[in-house]
Structure 1
Amino acid sequence: MPVEDVRALAKGRVYSGRQALEIGLVDEIGGVGRAIEVARAAAGLPPEPAASQLLEWPPRKIPPALALLRSSGEWCDSAAIL
């Protein structure tokens, strides 16, 4: 997308993921795991081994109710439904 088009759309506005997809600001909707997959492919790296894990440092303090969702993968995506 040309810079001029991005500037015309931006101007301090906030878009949902679906809106951004519809107007072409993003290529697809996904979580951190998907972003890593796409970045690895773009860099010509092999797919991540299934046993690998993304660790955040320093760890975030997550409320106990949301900590339960974390084990299901992309907890931020799941938490957005709450």
Structure 2
Amino acid sequence: MSLSPSTSTLSGSRASLLVGLVRRPIEALSFWTAVALPVLYVLILTGVVTGVSPASFAALIGLNALALVVGHGHRRD
């Protein structure tokens, strides 16, 4: 029996490290996007920003929902 870790364990730990390095910034960006997007709702609904189609507004709401889901785990310790 060898005392060195197996190749699959090394690649698994590298993969989990990579996932951790990529996941945290994406969660942070998504969280802050979800916080900031409702400002656009106010600007659109008050008429400060004009020319937004209903489909674009619906896409904005969908993007906000996606950002909420992805950013949900940000700074959850």
Give the TM-score taking structure 1 as reference length: 0.26
Larger Rg: 2
Structure with the higher helix share, 1 or 2: 2
